A = this chain, B = another copy of it.
Amino acid sequence: MNNFENVNNRRTRPAKPPLSLDIIIKTAYKLLSENGISGMSMRKIAKALDTGPASLYVYVKNYQKLSAYVLDYGLREVKLVENDTVYWKDAIINILKSYFKVLVETPGLAELALTTPPNGMNSMDINECLLKYLQTGGISKRGAAWGIDILLLYVSSLSFERTRRSKKDNDLDDMVALYNKVDVSKYPMIGMLKSELFSGEGDERFSWGIEVILQGLLTMQNS
């Protein structure tokens, strides 16, 4: 074999870092944030690591489990530390704003959050922290336990919608078009409210929804 032709043999090419679960997750996350969810395939991760797809299965059971790891890795940046003097409601809103920001900034992460059961340290930290502040606000055990689910779900889906909206070939536009040329006599409410149905681009709708859920949790205490 001719070493001059085969420039990329083991001796001449740069040393390849050994595989590990950690390096696989980080590579997957990088691909996800650069190219969205379709950029993170087992084959593309393997190629980015200069190996074959089979190699990944030494460290990861399957694509779904890897997705869960990547989601949790993405959530490491959610800011949980609050000044002790912050009112419990504002603390919750700040945490959820940070969660929202992380999901919107990394394309594909919002979709993962909506379809992959969270599983890992960072998601656990977020849950623990939210439970603490709900407890501080006087919300019952069951209210807190079931309430964090609604809160995180609401924020995940808002961010998923936001990331979809910023893509082109937008299926949301079809929906908007359908609602805009609706027969007002058959759909009076939709006709009347169509401007409201798709409004709330900025923080307004986000904050409103969280307020609704928190108000609901508080009110349910006394009944």
Q: A146-B205, A200-B146, A215-B219 are in contact. Are A68 and B171 (CB under 8 A)?
A: yes
Q: A64-B171, A212-B147 are in contact. Are A193 and B119 (CB under 8 A)?
A: no
A131 at the binding interface (Cβ < 8 Å): yes
From the candidates B178, B182, B211, name the one contacting A220 in the complex (CB within 8 A).
Answer: B211
By a CB distance below 8 angstroms, the chain B residues around A182 are: 124
Q: A117-B171, A153-B157, A172-B117 are in contact. Are A190 and B124 (CB under 8 A)?
A: yes
- Mostly, the A contact residues are helix
Among A6-14, A24-32, A43-51, A108-116, the stretch that binds chain B is: A108-116
From the candidates B178, B197, B211, B213, name the one contacting A212 in the complex (CB within 8 A).
Answer: B213
A187 at the binding interface (Cβ < 8 Å): yes
Closest Cβ–Cβ distance, residue A154 to chain B (whole Å): 6
The size of the chain A interface, using a CB distance under 8 A, is 59
Closest Cβ–Cβ distance, residue A208 to chain B (whole Å): 7
A16 at the binding interface (Cβ < 8 Å): no
User: Nearest chain-B residue to A178 (Cβ)?
Assistant: B119
A89 at the binding interface (Cβ < 8 Å): no
By a CB distance below 8 angstroms, the chain B residues around A119 are: 171, 174-175, 178
Contact A114 B114 (CB under 8 A): yes
Q: A124-B182, A127-B190, A216-B216 are in contact. Are A208 and B171 (CB under 8 A)?
A: no
Interface string of A139-159 (1 = CB under 8 A from B): 001101111001001100100
Closest Cβ–Cβ distance, residue A134 to chain B (whole Å): 9
Closest Cβ–Cβ distance, residue A73 to chain B (whole Å): 15
Contact B116 A171 (CB under 8 A): yes
User: Nearest chain-B residue to A123 (Cβ)?
Assistant: B175
For the complex of A and B, 9 pairs with smallest distance between CB atoms:
A216-B216, A145-B196, A212-B216, A131-B189, A215-B219, A215-B216, A145-B193, A145-B197, A128-B187
A residues lining the B interface (CB < 8 Å):
64-65, 68, 111, 114-120, 124, 127-128, 131-132, 135, 141-142, 144-147, 150, 153-154, 157, 160, 164, 171-172, 174-175, 178-179, 182, 187-190, 192-193, 196-197, 199-200, 205, 208-209, 211-220
